[in-house]
A and B are shown apart, each in its own frame.
Chain A
Amino acid sequence: MRYVRAFVRFWWDFIVGDDWRAAAGIAGLLALTWFLEHERYNIWWLLPVGIALVLVESVRREARGGS
């Protein structure tokens, strides 16, 4: 059980890191992009702009000392 926990912890740290909100924001943006593209909307700008906003918010939160 200890090894399973360590394994899961390793991958969580590796992929999600110390800001799960940023990871959740990325997942939400990807889902929205996928959905809108499959509804035939041409929204190529959504992902770069959305990721920039996720980055700004994540940095701002950590700079303020929040987690």
Chain B
Amino acid sequence: MYQLLYNFTGDVIISTIVVALIPLTIILIYALFAIWLERKVSAHMQDRLGPMRTGWHGWLQTIADMIKMIQKEDTIAAEADKKLFNIAPVLVFTGSFAAYAAIPFSSALIGSEIEVGLFYIVAISSLVVVGILMAGWASNNKYSLLGAMRSAAQIVSYEIPTALVVLTMVMYTGTFSLTKISEMQTPYFWNWNILGGPEFGITKFLLIPFMIVAASIMFISTLAEVNRTPFDIPEAESELVAGYFTEYSGMKWGMFMLAEYANMLAVSAVVSILFFGGYQSPFGYLGNLLNIKWLIPFEQIFWFLLKGLILVFVQMWLRWTLPRLRVDQLMTVCWKYLIPYAVVNLIFVGIISLL
């Protein structure tokens, strides 16, 4: 993508800026859409209507809320650490946003084609932990600090099952690079990794249950990394401590929310790339059929966003169905259930792929 733009404009700075801005625009528009979708989905699941008055069925509600948040007073507690307080939301958002650099939206639109894309994504998402701890500490509020520590413990623990499943997939596909993984799963859905991968043979069918288990483990652990129910102790309104962003008001709180939704799409994107074919279409390309070669990247963006949004919808669906787990139960689920299952899965996939 960068190459294309450089050839087009001939200027390094402009092409870098445009390449950086495209995912940012996609995230902002997606966040607008996702917040509206969450409110509508939650409303219809609860037999009510949700926002209806701002625009057709309330699609402008997010913009209205953003305008309201921007004009709010930016309160900082007197004893709070001002520098850390201000940097924390930026850091949390940067951690989520930086993961988009390695995610391929289509075969032509990739931020940077690095060979160790998966490794980079898992590593850079940990920047969020630093931001959260900063937010909790700088608020000078013992409840915020407690909430921040719990949230940090939660994110760090759930990185382990994520890493184990990523290791399984790397072992199976043989490469770290996300573009190569997407290309390996050809544009026909029976070749996707969830159904055993592109090579036909006995291994393909043997792998299917283990791939399904791996996908669920990864989905659950990334749910915990994004702090969504049932793992949303840090954000819970009816728990005793109100979470690490109690003291934030106005646009800084908006940044935290934006970071949460951006993170949701990032992890859904990674799960869909690893298991569901990434940007590949399930039925072959219209461009191939009609012999219009330049249509293919656009189709790929469409399929990619569709898969990401379906997984985001499942995350929202879970939020409105399940109650919350207590902190120690959360840790039990991670260490006593998910990690053993992930390790056993790893061993089995390893054995089967040797066949």
Chain A complexes with chain B: no
Q: Which residues of B contact A (CB under 8 A)?
A: none
